[in-house]
Amino acid sequence: MQDRTLYSIQESRRLLGGISRNMIYQLLRTGRLASVVIGSRRFISAEAIADLIERSTTTVSPSLRATRRSAAPEQITLPLWLPSSVRARIGAGHAGGKPGSCSANTRGIRGRD
């Protein structure tokens, strides 16, 4: 591809390593990639592509970044109120299946005081 001032969406995708159509439109929608509209066509300037590449350049390992991002927040376990028919089937295996019989304090969760 020859060096030009403006590139079509398709050409810009190729210049950005063959990113998907959805990804380039997401970059445009979020403002991370600037564009120029002429008539009914949208173009991306060589400068905007260079700016995106400069801002996206990192020295952090992608695997470390993904690990940090995927760390789930600590979750707490809430008691489950079971219908009386299910509690009857569970029987003595769960302290009789009576509300309030589990070890956690569950009062107030369903508006019971």
Q: CA 72 to CA 69: how far, in whole Å?
A: 8
Q: Is the pLDDT of residue 61 over 80?
A: no
Q: What is the mean pLDDT of residues 60-86?
A: 68
Q: Identify the H or E element spanning 45.
A: strand 41-45
CA dihedral 84, 94, 101, 103 (to 10 degrees): -140
The answer, as to whether pTM is greater than 0.75, is no
Top-ranked range on mean pLDDT: pick from 15-19, 56-60, 84-88, 93-97 = 15-19
- Is pLDDT at 96 greater than 90 in this prediction? no
Domain count of the chain? 1
Q: How much is the pLDDT for 97? A: 46
What six digits make up the tokens of 15?
């210049």
In a domain, 49, yes or no: yes
Full residue range of the structural domain in which residue 10 is found: 6-58
Structure confidence by residue, pLDDT tens digits, 12-60 = 999 999 999 999 999 999 999 999 999 999 999 999 999 999 998 888 7
Asked whether residue 25 is domain-assigned, the answer is: yes
pLDDT band per the 50, 70, 90 thresholds, residue 68: low
